[in-house]
Amino acid sequence: MTLAPTILYQSAALVAVNKPSGLAVHRGQSRDPVHALELVRDAVGAYVYPLHRLDRATSGVLVFALSQAAAKELGAAFALGSIEKQYLALVRGNPPDHVVVDHPLSQDDGKPPQAARTEITTRARYGRYALVEATPKTGRTHQIRVHLAHMGHPILGDATYGTGFRTKAARLGPQPRAALDALGRQALHAYLLAIEHPETKIALEFRSELPGDLRRLREALHIESREAGPEPRR
């Protein structure tokens, strides 16, 4: 059964939803029988315009426009990078307290690598693992996942960029290993999106708390790290 997005906010110009993991945004991303776009369209009873994307496996805040005028204005804001997006991720290792990753990324179109910047702030540490907040300053494909892997701190459960993680996961105790196996996806969640309403110009902020699967993994890592004692910083 496909989980439907839940509506966080709706006006005549836009709708913000909480997208569950396992749901692609629109048909251009997948051959799945159902997508977030169709589900949100049916829920609001109007045509919706996609403005940005989240990976199928990534959960969290997703925004659609409800008119061509709003789509044009909000699309320009996304393109200019004037919309703030923040993500939470559970990663391997002991990342710095705060760092800005400035590492160009190649795209699928064959063009030269493009500038890409992500601000990373560590929010909690669990022994060999950590919870980080990632704020992308540019909008490249898989930017957060690639930048964290580039730092040597891949997102837990990321089968594409977390090379070698499954081998090192054997160091986990039974509770976090079971939580990671049950997760079945990368531990990445879009928890905040701040945007200016295209008509009223009022600042809007949409939040989505960590879903249950990520909370269970975080708690399992916390319990194991507490029982194991402090992990030396590297």
Catalytic residue IDs:
55
What is the Cα Rg of the chain in Å?
18
> Shortest CA distance to 130 belongs to which of 167, 164, 84, 98?
98
* CA 179/CA 65 separation, integer angstroms: 36
Residues β-bridged to residue 233: none
Per the DSSP assignment, residues forming a β-bridge with 195 are: 204
Shortest CA distance to 37 belongs to which of 50, 19, 51, 28? Answer: 50
Copy the structure tokens of residue 229.
Answer: 């004692």
Cβ neighbours of 234 (radius 10 Å): 7
Q: Is the dihedral of CA 65, 210, 193, 148 positive or negative?
A: negative
Select from 191, 194, 192 the least CA-distant residue to 77. 194
